[in-house]
């Protein structure tokens, strides 16, 4: 059974076990959120397949799911548009329409 410390609002540290810990609304909303730049880097790394475990855990604990969905969808759309344009240029260069 592992122990960890929780800092309460009055500055007193309370020892608790993982089994007994349930986050309150205060701890959920007070959690540090990741920036859009960090989310974008994380999504690009996951697209390529080089996401580190540390960043994955950070994203799972400190992130807003809506932020990841919007950024991930935008990157996917931009990637598809880019591939479409590249294929059109290659076909135009080859003389195939």
Tens of pLDDT, residue by residue over 38-89, are 889 988 998 888 888 888 888 887 767 888 899 999 999 999 999 999 999 9
Q: pTM of the full predicted structure? A: 0.57
- Band of residue 16 on the pLDDT scale cut at 50, 70, 90: very low
Show me where the domains of the chain are located. 1-30, 32-97
User: DSSP string of 39-92?
Assistant: HHHHHHHHHHT---HHHHHHHHHH--HHHHHHHHHHHHHHHHHHHHHHHHHHHH
pLDDT band for position 3 (50/70/90)?
A: very low
3-state secondary structure 17-35: EHHHCCCCHHHHHCCCCCC
């Amino acid at each position: 059974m592992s122990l960890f410390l929780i800092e309460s609002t009055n500055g007193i540290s309370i020892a608790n076990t993982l089994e007994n810990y349930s986050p309150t609304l205060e701890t959920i909303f007070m959690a540090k959120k990741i920036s859009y730049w960090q989310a974008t880097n994380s999504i690009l790394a996951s697209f390529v397949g080089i996401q580190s475990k540390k960043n994955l855990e950070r994203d799972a604990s400190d992130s807003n799911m809506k932020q990841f969905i919007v950024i991930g969808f935008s990157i996917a759309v931009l990637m598809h548009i880019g591939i479409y344009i590249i294929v059109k240029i290659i076909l135009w260069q080859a003389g195939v329409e």
